[in-house]
Amino acid sequence: EKRNPHLFDLAQGLVFRCHIIYYKQISSNHLLSDKDLLIFNFHHALFDFPSMEVFHHDLNQAYTTGQLLYDDNTNLRYLDYAVIEQQMSMTGASMFWLDALHNCKLDQTLSLPFDRYRLSSEHRTGRGTSISFDFGQDLSHDFLIHASSNNISIEHLTFAIYFIFLFKLTNGQTDLCLAMNINNNRYRDELKSIIGLFQNVIPLRCQFDPHWYFHQLLEHIQEIITKSMKFSYFPLQRILNQHPHVSKHAFLDTSLEYISYNNNNIMMIGDSQLVPGSFLFSINEDEILS
């Protein structure tokens, strides 16, 4: 299921597989036994991480009630959304991104202190290394207290601190642009119950005065994130097409994503636990920008 590239066929609409693994033998009544597995495998072209919660809700409803309260004639489908998105006017979003990135050096790599450099002609493998660290209880507590006492979101505070971090690493660069991952871009209520790919990547540009107080920077970060999120539905490829003279989109090399994670969110189907699984896979630049 993980390594076979021929399981899916986007041209034929083969984007989902359901696979049963029997631990010992197939039962005569075709019921699953202890340690048997039921695997649901989705192609990423129509399934993002928030889709997992939608799928779990529908699967649990079908399993426990024997029916699914869904009507193709009245409910909005992902296919409907894709067609509507192609036809909808994006003049306002287009003008916003043109203005937001005016005179921005999108092809200029941040002068970060790397210990090794990748050649421009080197092929991306899609693999990476993850390093984690803990801020500690005291610093984490101060972080949360500052956010709550100033009535700001933890996400905005995180981005403000990250831009200060980049400012120091780049020896005082005051026009910074990075990639912001939008994993749940369901910006309308009717989209929240749809399984599909609503991910996008948008540029987040921060121009600031190094003499600002921290609260001034924080207010600026709140403003640019709020405005950018309003037009986050505008596809990244169309943003890049607005700058045809740029051959290398260097801002995509630096990104930040804020994720709120609840470790106690166990998914159950009846008396069975649903376990999400993921694995490394290789992607090319065209897929990243789509």
Query: What would the pLDDT profile of 249-268 be if each residue is shown by its tens digit?
Result: 999 989 988 877 665 556 67
SS3 (DSSP) at 9 = strand
Is 1 among the domain residues? Answer: no
Domain that holds residue 226: 78-115+149-289
Per the model's pLDDT, the better-predicted residue between 40 and 129 turns out to be 40
What pLDDT sits at residue 286? 44
Is 240 among the domain residues? Answer: yes
Q: Which of 173, 170, 143, 137 is nearest to 155 (CA)?
A: 143
Tokens 């709120």, located at residue:
260
**In the predicted model, what is the mean pLDDT of the chain?**
84
State the DSSP code for 115. Answer: S
Is 63 among the domain residues? Answer: no
Is 60 among the domain residues? Answer: no
Could you give the percent of the chain with pLDDT greater than 70?
85
pLDDT exceeds cutoff 60 at 279: no
Mean pLDDT lowest among 84-93, 123-132, 162-171, 203-212:
123-132
Q: How confident is the model at residue 278 (pLDDT cuts 50, 70, 90)?
A: low
pLDDT exceeds cutoff 90 at 63: no
Q: How confident is the model at residue 209 (pLDDT cuts 50, 70, 90)?
A: very high
70-115 pLDDT, tens digit per residue, is: 766 667 888 888 888 888 889 999 999 999 999 999 998 888 887 7
Is 16 among the domain residues? Answer: no
Containing 200, the helix (H) or strand (E) segment is strand 200-207
Instruction: Give the C-alpha separation, 253 to 179, whole Å.
Output: 8
Is 46 among the domain residues? Answer: no
Q: What is the CATH number of the domain that holds 197?
A: 3.30.559.30
In the chain, how many domains are there?
Answer: 1
118-129 pLDDT, tens digit per residue, is: 666 667 676 777
222-250 pLDDT, tens digit per residue, is: 999 999 999 998 999 999 999 999 988 99
Instruction: Give the C-alpha separation, 112 to 167, whole Å.
Output: 10
Is 205 among the domain residues? Answer: yes
Containing 56, the helix (H) or strand (E) segment is helix 49-65
Token pair for residue 162?
Answer: 């990250």
Nearest 10 degrees: CA dihedral of 204, 207, 213, 217? -20
Q: Which of 181, 179, 185, 180 is nearest to 51 (CA)?
A: 185
Stated pTM of the model: 0.75
What pLDDT sits at residue 72? 66
Is 267 among the domain residues? Answer: yes
